[in-house]
Chain A
Amino acid sequence: MYLFTRAFAYIRKQKAKTILLLILFVIIANIVLAGLSIQNATEAAKILTRQEIGADVVYTSNSAKINTDYKSGLLDATTDKYSLAGVPLYSNFTKLLGSEFIETTDVVTSYEVTTDVITPYVFTATTTTTTTTTGGGGGSKIILGTYENSGDLSFRTFNTLTPSDFVNELSTLVNGRFASQEEITSGAYVAIIETTLANLNGIKVGDKLSLTPTTEGYNTVAIEYEVIGIYQSNEIVDERSASMISSSLLAQNRIYTPFNTFTSMGYSQNELDNILLDKAVITLNDPANIEAYMASIDGKIDLVYGSISANDAVYQELAGPIDSLGNLSNILVIIVVIAGASILSLITALTINQRKNEIGILLAIGESKLNIVSQFIVEVVAIALIAFAISTFTGISVGKTISESTLASFASSEATTETVVMPGGGGSKTSTVTAEEIGPVELEVKFSALVLLEFFAAGILISIISVAIPALYVTRFNPKQILTNNG
């Protein structure tokens, strides 16, 4: 295969052409690699964003819709809140289960208890404070804005090892433990109380509290709860709101207990099905499955007054610039590949035209057309490989620079969203994450082996085609024609 010797001799001899071609390849390869790396990075960033946002799907009442219809007269104080289509009744929640994507679920509802042995925390307004902490509970009674105070303290339920309020850092366990799986499943009368209430009453982990639930339809009987943990509420609510709500709904007076305590209290399945939840949190096994899960539950509940959210708005806000950058890089790659292939074809066509005499000589001494074309291909591919190798390193920097500047310009033009924490509002916090919490999207610009392999393969294929077409065009002539015209 002397064609390799010929090819490398040509490359060495024609230094100017070799360098020109090398520079061209490096420029094209850098831009293409930058584009490909950005595409690669945008995909990774979208996955990361999804993971940052989390894999929670939250089912709540659609407070905005309810309030609007209430104000417009479509709903009134006599409306049975349980009959509203799509509200998060336990029976509706169960329709969302049974998916392979679900890892855990948390069922949050609230009810009040009365007590003779515990002194509830009472909010005292001050003249200077602007904020204070209050409860986020309140349950179904708040939804229609017709709160009826019926207790001293409130219970908020959970049925997962770490209740979603603790996952979302609305509350932090400071002493004791969470309920065990067995306690959750069996509906054990265990309680996690707020540190202010604990301090006020000298309650410690392990103490027993006698409390009487005031849930609708339930015979009021005192139940003994074991304190297994003490938490601190992190909710921030303004003083005005705190002073307007019942003290039983203040965060300081909130006690966490397993949802299955309803069963322990003697609730029938029908009664359970009719419990109106503050919210149900469905945690999926992978954030990437959110879209698939949302598609799988589509239409299962007529969500007139309900809402199922997967933080899509936040995701879309963050993913928007990433998508735009991905599309931009896609267009960039296509343009550069077409322009690069055209320029390369033109250069090789001109070069091969200058080498007609050499082709004629090679044909005259019996060299096959295939070997002649192969020699030209080897020459270009050798230069291309060197250029691609250089570009593998430089392309990352180019890609990082382009993506950072582009993302920055996109980010500055984007709006932001806010999360509202309503005091005592049952499940009003539908979005557990905000764009600000996630922060600016970082693109990790790098190449996977597969991307590099694809790039190398595509680059070499384009090089081969760019050379082969003009070379085959010339070699179709007989040697005399070529030598006569170039003699």
Chain B
Amino acid sequence: MSILQLKNVSYGYIDGNRKRTILNDLSYNFEKGKFYTILGPSGSGKTTLLSLMGALEKTQEGSIEFEGKRLEEIGYTKYRRNNQAIVFQQFNLIPYLTALQNVVNVMHITDNELPKNKEKTALNLLNSFGIVESKAKRGVSQLSGGEQQRVAIARALATNVSLILADEPTGNLDTATQKEIVSIFRKLATEFECCVIVVTHSDDVARTSDIQLKLVEGKLVDITGSPKQ
């Protein structure tokens, strides 16, 4: 079932005197319950594509639809608040809040229906990602990189969204933590029917996904099952 639909999306920027096209008439349907990875060399437009899908910026041409509605129609801020969540490579947690407060914060921002006891729900969620209560109540700067990324994932899930976007979520983590995080994404797709889209450089991460996509000349190419990526 389609959750996110890219329709003829183009995006470029002016580099000196010429226009450089990053995304070129790109169309693709992402479905619920699947774990996608997007590969591509540096500068191929992976992060730009993720930003457009996360409504961190607007498309220049074409449109993006979430469950059949254009993002403009939903409203960019509302879409970011209620329909998707992004996990960043740099975690992007609010530095002066505790891990728990970072999670509770998004639960207060979203309009989605959530359990009344937000703090308890957030604590349970953090616990399920291996962040115990004592750590949850610490400032995020006192946590390791892996712990911070788990907090970031917990934050993404706290608002009950069905679309999870991740930009190099394992880029700053060791191999063991990397595997742990990837398994969480898999679980989100299979058990929670989420659509998980991960931008990555890592072939190892890509191999664990349901569908492997590659950005080639501004278009997404399905390379799932291809022998050499």
Tell whether A and B belong to one assembly: yes
Q: Measuring CB to CB, which residues of chain A are less than 8 angstroms from any residue of chain B?
A: 1-2, 5-6, 9-10, 12-14, 357-358, 360-369, 371, 478-481, 483, 487
Kindly specify which of B21-29, B50-58, B126-134, B202-210 makes contact with the partner chain: B50-58
Please encode chain B, from 154 to 179, with 1 for each CB lying within 8 Å of some chain A CB and 0 for all others.
01000000000000000000000000
Binds A, one of B2-10, B61-69, B90-98, B143-151: B90-98
B20 CB-CB contact with A under 8 Å:
no
Kindly state whether residue B60 has any CB partner on chain A within 8 Å: no
Q: Which residues of B contact A358 (CB under 8 A)?
A: 94-95
Complex: chain B residue closest to A371, CB-CB: B109
A9-B96, A361-B94, A362-B94 are contacts. A480–B78 as well, Cβ < 8 Å?
no
Counting from the closest, the 6 A-B pairs by CB-CB distance are: A366-B81, A2-B108, A13-B96, A480-B56, A366-B80, A480-B57
Contacts of B56 in A (CB 8 A): 364, 478-480, 483
Report yes or no: B94 in contact with A366, Cβ–Cβ below 8 A.
no
In the complex, the answer to whether A6 meets B105 with C-beta atoms within 8 Å is yes
Q: How far is the CB of A475 from chain B (nearest CB, A)?
A: 11
Residue of A365, A479, A483 near B106 (CB, 8 A) is A365
Complex Cα distance, B180 from A302, in Å, reads: 105
Assuming A358-B95, A480-B57, is B81 touching A365 (CB within 8 A)?
yes
Q: Known A-B contacts: A365-B106, A365-B109. Give 7 more (CB < 8 A).
A: A1-B108, A2-B108, A6-B96, A365-B80, A366-B80, A366-B82, A366-B109
- Hey, which chain B residues are within 8 Å of A365, CB to CB? 80-81, 85, 105-106, 109, 155
Q: Which residues does chain B contribute within 8 Å of A360, judged by CB atoms?
A: 92
Q: Which of A1, A364, A487 contacts B86 (CB 8 A)?
A: A364
Closest to A357 in B: B92
Closest CB-CB distance, A382 to chain B, in whole Å? Answer: 15
Q: Which among A9, A479, A483 is the interface contact of B97 at CB below 8 angstroms? A: A9
Decide: A6 and B97 in contact? CB cutoff 8 A: yes
Contacts of B96 in A (CB 8 A): 6, 9-10, 12-14
Assembled-state Cα–Cα distance A478/B79 (Å): 14
Q: Which residue of A lies closest to B141 (CB)?
A: A13
Residues of A within 8 A of B155 (CB): 365
- Chain B residue at minimum C-beta to C-beta distance from A360: B92
Contact A483 B92 (CB under 8 A): yes
Q: Are B77 and A368 in contact (CB under 8 A)?
A: yes
Cα distance A1–B105 in the bound complex, in angstroms? 9
- Cβ contacts A to B, 13 pairs, < 8 Å: A1-B108, A2-B104, A6-B97, A13-B139, A14-B96, A364-B54, A364-B86, A365-B85, A366-B109, A368-B77, A369-B77, A478-B56, A479-B57
